Amino acid sequence: MTHIRSESAIDYDAVRYLNTAAFETDAEAGLVDALRDQCESIISLVAEKDDLLAGHILFSPVTLPGHNHLKILGLAPMAVLPDFQRQGIGSELVTAGLNICREQGWDAVVVLGYPEFYPRFGFVPASQFKIGCEYDVPDEVFMLVELNTGALDGCWGTVNYHSAFADL
Ligand SMILES: CC(C)(COP(=O)(O)OP(=O)(O)OC[C@H]1O[C@@H](n2cnc3c(N)ncnc32)[C@H](O)[C@@H]1OP(=O)(O)O)[C@@H](O)C(=O)NCCC(=O)NCCS
């Protein structure tokens, strides 16, 4: 059984460990620390499996210049311990995370990630909304899901991530 819950301070070391284990360097672990310190509103969830912290997901605010009324989050980073990958934990984290984003009234979530994975949760290429990414990435890897239907009508431009992402 996987249990998804909000991260708390006692989880910080385990979250650092699992991000370092899942990625090639500790840059993502550092990014999590920076976003926790520097963002006013983040959503940070952990997945417990067999009394172990096996997964983590973070959402932090991004901006669409000229449309400051929009509440948009970026999903990043997300990590599952290597021995626990491809068992559905990442999917549970995304599903739980998006439900919380919706409950909190966020308009949309963007993600830079595997185009085979995120469409399962309603993400489509952000270009369908005429929304691009500040990073030079292939069209299909920058995706968006609108949580508040119609919120993005008439809004287009380039999404900017928090400055901490520049250190990745
Ligand atoms: C990406 C990640 C968080 C997914 O978590 P998970 O628990 O393995 O995901 P699930 O079991 O729910 O779903 C598996 C799906 O993830 C995608 N996926 C996972 N690893 C992948 C990889 N290396 N390449 C491409 N797609 C991958 C696939 O779509 C896969 O579906 P499939 O098994 O049908 O092929 C996890 O694999 C991970 O931590 N990877 C290393 C860190 C990373 O790349 N994070 C994402 C970028 S922020």
- The candidate with the shortest Cα–Cα distance to 53, out of 16, 96, 91, is 16
Per-residue pLDDT tens digits for 35-56: 999 999 999 999 999 999 999 9
Pocket test for ligand 1, best of 57, 86, 112 (most atoms within 8 A of CB): 86
pLDDT of residue 168: 83
- The percentage of the chain sitting over the pLDDT mark of 70, rounded to a whole number, equals 100
pLDDT grade for 134, boundaries at 50, 70 and 90: very high
pLDDT of residue 52: 96
pLDDT of residue 83: 97
Q: Is 22 in the pocket of ligand 1 (CB under 6 A)?
A: yes
Q: Is the dihedral of CA 117, 145, 38, 132 positive or negative?
A: positive
- The candidate with the shortest Cα–Cα distance to 58, out of 84, 82, 23, is 23
Per-residue pLDDT tens digits for 87-127: 999 999 999 999 999 999 999 999 999 999 999 999 999 99
Cα 80 to averaged position of ligand 1 atoms, centre (Å)? 8
pLDDT of residue 62: 98
Which amino acid, one-letter code, is at 57? Answer: I
Q: Is 114 in the pocket of ligand 1 (CB under 6 A)?
A: yes
pLDDT grade for 167, boundaries at 50, 70 and 90: confident
Q: Is 58 in the pocket of ligand 1 (CB under 6 A)?
A: no
Span 142-164, average pLDDT: 97
Asked if residue 131 has pLDDT above 90, the reply is yes
Q: Which atom of ligand 1 is the closest one to the Cα of 116?
A: 29
Cα 118 to averaged position of ligand 1 atoms, centre (Å)? 10
Q: Which atom of ligand 1 is the closest one to the Cα of 113?
A: 47
Per-residue pLDDT tens digits for 51-90: 999 999 999 999 999 999 999 999 999 999 999 999 999 9
> Which domains are assigned to the chain?
2-167 (3.40.630.30)
pLDDT of residue 113: 97
Query: 3-class DSSP state for residue 79?
Result: strand
pLDDT of residue 65: 96
Distance CA 129, CA 80 (A): 30
pLDDT of residue 129: 97
